[in-house]
Chain A
Amino acid sequence: MRGVGALLVTVPLLLALAGPWFVPDDRTRGGPFMPNSWLGTDFVGRDVWHQVLAGGRTVVLVALLATLLSYLVGVPWGVVAAMSRPRVVDDLLMRPLDLLLAVPSLLVLILTATIAGPGLPVLVGVVTLVNFPDVARIFRGAALEIAGRPALEAMRLQGESWWRTSIVYPGRSMVRTLAADSGVRLTGALYLVASASFLGVGVPPDAADWAVMVDRNRVGLFLQPWAVVVPAVLIVALSVGLNLVFDRALRAEARS
């Protein structure tokens, strides 16, 4: 098992990040779903291998960026809500999120995407929007618990700096929460990015994008399966690999 996770992450990640440099400029077009080249052609007759090379960056970047952004917004949001005095700030910050959670995420997704139109920033924004309330809630809970810890109170009694009491110590204490959460969250982001294309959100319907490829090429599954199978396997490998790596890191951290 050792190294499987790393391998599962590296292959798709490398393909995604470096792939676009290996796509030839003059790409030819043939008939759709023809088996004439290595991985055949896709639904508009483009070479699937070239599409695979070109199409990982958006998926991976959007998922990574959206996850990162969810944490960048959600963690401070939750921490500020938890640590704030007066407690009204907590309500002011958290009630609107309850509201967001009461609107089904799908409705939010469809409406915001329709309003904003396609584009990677929109996709990143939508995935972030769906994720960050959850992140904020989790980290508010974690921060509340940390704020009540005698260790932090002791530091404040020592006159410790804001930096150490509000950032370093809570940050260190939340690493575990973060690590446990981020594997699942990244997988969820990958999933959302992939689903968005089915709903017609975010990316143009013929973009070179692994998720879009899975959706648009599924009509040709019986004619030319590689156009679906290869990008799908890459997405799954990436998530499984990420989770295995995070799990391993967590277990290692727990042991130390």
Chain B
Amino acid sequence: MTPVVHVENLRAVAGGRALVDGVSFALSAGRVLALVGASGSGKTTTGLALLGEHAPGVAVSGRVAVTGRIGFVPQQPAAALNPVRRLGGVFREIAALHRGDPAELVATALRRARVPADLLRRYPHELSGGQQQRVVLAQSLVGDPAVLVADEPTTGQDPITRAEVVDELASVVAQGVALVLLTHDLDVVRALADEVVVLRSGRVVEAGATADVLDRPREPYTRALVAAQPRVTVPGDRPARRPRLELHGVTARHRATTVLRDVSLQVGAGECLAVVGRSGSGKTTLARCVVGLHPTFGGEVRLDGRPLPRSLRKRSRAELASVQYVFQDPRSSFDPHRTVLSQVARTAVRLRGSADATAEALAELAAVGLDEATATRRPAGLSGGELQRAALVRALLARPDVLVCDEITSGLDTLTQASLLDLLAALPCAVVLISHDLAVVARLADRVAVLHRGDLVEHGSAGDVLGLPTHPVTIGLLGRSMEGTEEKRT
């Protein structure tokens, strides 16, 4: 079979630094090639080069040959949809560019991407994240592209959605499209890819058939990457401890819609409570009620038996220090105008009156692998994974009794993720961990709470919930995770 994609010695340089350095690969129709690697290793840059694009300030050289049309599913699908256009109009516009009956073309593309046709009357903001992703996929599929480039299609999706996306891509490939997959999610790679190219700092570390590379890695880097991947295992039961943080009948709403209904939970000292659920089920809202960022909730949050003021403004320094939060989106939780170090150190200054906050901050940053050179840059100079770690240190400097972590592993490669999980496991405080990744949950959690559309549908020890799930959502989440791990394409 002749390759439809042929890349030879691709280089991308920005400001004297090589972002991509001598990448070569080829891909035939109906096959899947995965580019894997840590955050910042050059995946997106390579993917854009296939489209003949590059970020401003980046110079690209080398040979890129693509036969036929190429479709692209970008890393953030929400940003790729025009907020003021209904979906239908844009689809008709795209269809008009191709030969054939427009209605037919759109219908086919929607069917292939599993987008219900009645979504066409909506605006992008009226869709869930997963739906947005599928809509963008459908847009790329109109008129049968020869090649599809999908950039991190599963990042930040819950296991059920993630599995759906994998299924969709699989069926697209089955129809003869060549797929270039840019991801750090090895489960997805196993599920979809025929070949894997492992990138590290822009260089190809290892390449070959998926089974060869992932199951019998030759390079130490690849081996480490694969080894660090957590698996969903059913943990054994640990004895319950005296509750530190208690939630009683927490009910929260965003304007008129109730997003949390009568949720009661507890976490003991040194325990880890995992909160899982599909996207939009209310996990972040729950976290914000606990840390005082959603002061209008009903019910009560208690720390060591004493009710915590609902609003951050009413909390004393000690109370502030005792409950800390790591935001879901690390980049937006930093002030872009100040260095990361100075921002991280402020916690120690304000909440503990530390005399040498900077030294303390530097030490803890170093412990999570961030050196001084990195920390003294502004947030824009750090990768997503680095910022996530900095945000964690910022919270930990308060020496909290309760730490609430919202999706802190989603943007990370397996190696970085593993080191972070080790750090969390060693924490003496109570941890509330919000995660889509049940493998992470299984690794850390003592107790698991499952939220579904604002209701607490399951709550118990990790062994019970993960081992003997009773609610269909839990079963769904868990089942899909297992599937993702075990299913392999042949």
Contacts and interface: CB of A to CB of B under 8 A. Distances in A.
- Taking the complex as a whole, does A directly touch B, i.e. does some CB pair lie under 8 Å apart? yes
Interface of A: 85, 149-151, 153-161, 169, 172
B416 to A, nearest CB: 21
B91 interface: no
B317, B335, B337, B346: residue with the most chain A Cβ atoms closer than 10 Å: B335
B405 to A, nearest CB: 13
B95 interface: no
B351 A169 contact: no
B327 A154 contact: yes
B55 to A, nearest CB: 16
The contact size tier of chain B is 20 to 34
B346 A160 contact: yes
B481 interface: no
19 contacts: A85-B311, A149-B332, A150-B327, A150-B332, A151-B332, A151-B334, A154-B334, A154-B391, A154-B394, A157-B292, A157-B320, A157-B324, A158-B320, A158-B350, A158-B394, A158-B398, A159-B317, A159-B320, A160-B350
B457 to A, nearest CB: 28
A252 to B, nearest CB: 15
B312 interface: yes
A20 to B, nearest CB: 41
B325 interface: yes
Interface in B376-405: 391, 394-395, 398
A151, A154, A169: residue with the most chain B Cβ atoms closer than 10 Å: A154
Interface in B254-278: none
A156 B329 CA distance: 17
Nearest to A161: B350
Smallest CB-CB A-B distances: 4 pairs: A150-B333, A159-B350, A154-B333, A159-B320
Contacts of A169: 335
Interface string B295-339: 100000000000000011100010011001101010011111100
Contacts of A153: 293, 312, 327, 333
B46 interface: no
Contact of A155 (B292, B295, B335, B337): B335
B291 interface: yes
Contact of A158 (B295, B313, B336, B351): B351
Given A150-B332, A150-B333, A172-B337, A158 B347 contact: yes
Contacts, number: 54
Contacts of B295: 85
B291 A158 contact: no
Given A157-B395, A158-B351, A158-B394, 9 more contacts: A149-B332, A150-B332, A151-B332, A151-B333, A153-B312, A154-B394, A157-B293, A157-B325, A159-B321
A108 B436 CA distance: 58
A160 B313 CA distance: 11
A168 to B, nearest CB: 10
A155 B336 CA distance: 13
Contacts of B311: 85
A158 to B, nearest CB: 5
Nearest to A152: B335
Contact of A157 (B312, B332, B335, B337): B312
Given A150-B327, A150-B329, A153-B293, A158 B334 contact: no
Contacts of B321: 159
B54 to A, nearest CB: 19
B209 to A, nearest CB: 42
A85 B398 CA distance: 27
A172 B335 CA distance: 10
Nearest to A169: B335
B371 to A, nearest CB: 22
Contacts of B325: 154, 157
B123 to A, nearest CB: 20
Contacts of B335: 151, 155, 169, 172
A243 B410 CA distance: 45
A154 B395 CA distance: 9
A159 B333 contact: no
Contacts of A160: 346, 350
Nearest to B318: A159
Contacts of A158: 320, 346-347, 350-351, 394, 398
Contacts of A155: 335, 346
B327 A156 contact: no
Contacts of B327: 150, 153-154
A151 B334 CA distance: 5
A149 B333 CA distance: 7
A161 B320 CA distance: 13
Contacts of A159: 317, 320-321, 347, 350-351
B190 to A, nearest CB: 34
